[in-house]
Amino acid sequence: MLKNAASSISELSQPAVGGLLREWRAARRMSQLDLALEAGISARHLSYIETGKSGPSRETVHRLANALRMPLRERNRLMRAAGFVPEFSESPLPTPALERMREAIELILRHQEPYPAFVVNRHWEIVLANEAAKRMNAFLMGGKALRHANMLHQVFDPDDFRPVIVNWSDVAGRFVRLLHEEIAAAPSDAVSRRLLDEILTYPDVPGGWRYRDVEEEVPPILNLVFRSPIGEIRFFETITTFAGAQDVTLDELRIECSFPGDEKTAALCARLRDEDAASGIHSSVAV
């Protein structure tokens, strides 16, 4: 009886592995032969794995994941589908396991003062922000609270941050292209696909943004122009990620730092910091 149950579980798990591999091969535009050569296995063995006739070893799964350039979360998913323990840990940022990394992140945010900086996860949720970001948001929004914790919804929602963005088409278009790139990099991520569907429903979003433009590259620098009570202010943005991360949480975080694009903006950031310090109001970096 136990043998039959184990056999049934194995039969159910193998097609899941095969389905994932086929999905990723399609996303990477690789044939079975391409993937087999890249992973150092035979095309026949790969065919058997995809059809469920053969189960992959842990080493084979590891090779296939490397060949497909899978993110850490998706590598874990492939391992689980093959019946193995996930390869990489996933620890919430506030836990002791990531204490040193959180301290490093908070140090970066503090050193970015008096200019805004955010920490964003793979689904564009803002998980940390420095004091400069909070001050600038309050200034641009006239003290009105943001409706969303998700950066994409903030940018696309006309009742949120969108009205203060002068070059909204450039900013929103770049974000859509980045989201398309993320979906292409992790085709099984249903949350990112749903997020794309959600932001495309907002008013006056071009219909063509629903489709990935494979010809146009995402510009390396994002320029932001905002409407403010003192006229237009300008920032450019850089993105920092963790190279060689061995934890899923760190692998999916990025730090977005804004720098003033002109002296007027730099002076405003310094003024807001000084006014904040004079008022005696200050809070630590918060989730």
For the chain, residues with pLDDT lower than 50 are 1-15, 283-287
One domain for residues 195 and 250? yes
One domain for residues 223 and 109? yes
Answer whether residue 171 is part of any domain: yes
Separation of alpha carbons 97 and 80, rounded Å: 22
Instruction: Name the domain boundary from 81, 116, 145.
Output: 81
How many structural domains does the chain have? 2
- Judge if pTM exceeds 0.85: no
Both tokens of 238, joined, read 């850089």
Residue whose C-alpha is closest to residue 148's, from 157, 140, 139 = 157
Q: Running DSSP on this structure, what letter comes out for residue 5?
A: H
Answer whether residue 53 is part of any domain: yes
Answer whether residue 87 is part of any domain: no
Q: Running DSSP on this structure, what letter comes out for residue 150?
A: B
Separation of alpha carbons 51 and 17, rounded Å: 9
Instruction: Name the domain boundary from 81, 107, 139.
Output: 81
Instruction: Name the domain boundary from 49, 81, 113.
Output: 81
Answer whether residue 285 is part of any domain: no
Answer whether residue 44 is part of any domain: yes
Q: What is the pLDDT of residue 281?
A: 54
Q: What is the pLDDT of residue 14?
A: 40
Contact 261, 223 (CB under 8 A): yes
Separation of alpha carbons 172 and 163, rounded Å: 12
Answer whether residue 249 is part of any domain: yes
Answer whether residue 88 is part of any domain: no
State the residue range of the domain holding 111: 96-279
Is 62 exposed, middle or buried, given 0-12, 13-18 or 19+ CB atoms closer than 10 A? Answer: middle
Separation of alpha carbons 79 and 17, rounded Å: 9
Contact 12, 56 (CB under 8 A): no
One domain for residues 186 and 227? yes
Q: What is the pLDDT of residue 39?
A: 94
